[in-house]
Amino acid sequence: MGSADRSLREQAAQEAGKRSGDPRVQGLLVEAEMACNAHEYQTRTSTAESRLLRTHVPAVRRLRACSQLPDVPVVVLSATRGLPKGLRTRWTSLQAQIAATTVRGEHVVVPDAAHYIHDSQPEAVTTSVLTVVDLARDGQASQ
């Protein structure tokens, strides 16, 4: 893993540099990428989940429709670009409804963000993650 780990970290650092000029955000992006790829089983699980989702879409939709979010802090981010206006409005409304289903849910519309918000507006994602961490730790928002 030594050289693969180093190569992955270098690639993650290059990508983080493209996403943000803020060294703190870059560091968070690199660590997130490293955490997502820390173990072989994570790669296998991700591949299996993608395959499962593709082959069992109706079952996944049924499960999602009848499930509830636990009582945990949740921030749902919505993009503003990348879809026709009517479809974007519909998705944003659905995402707002998801946030509204939990007591500690928050919906944030991210200006000038595309589908991959972590690519187009990484600061919004890291801010939201840090907010959720703070809320989970002490139950209070620290914005």
DSSP E strand stretches across 1-143: 74-78, 105-109
pLDDT confidence bin for 109, thresholds 50/70/90: very high
* Residue that has been written with the tokens 């593709």 in this structure: 54
Determine the residue type at 64. Answer: R
The predicted pLDDT at position 125 comes to: 94
Tens digits of residue pLDDT in 8-53: 899 999 988 988 888 988 998 899 888 888 888 887 888 888 888 8
**Residue 15 and residue 9: Cα distance in Å, rounded?**
10
Contacts of 95 (CB under 8 A, 6+ apart): 76, 77, 78, 107
Q: What's the Rg (C-alpha) of the chain?
A: 17
Place of tokens 């519309």: 109
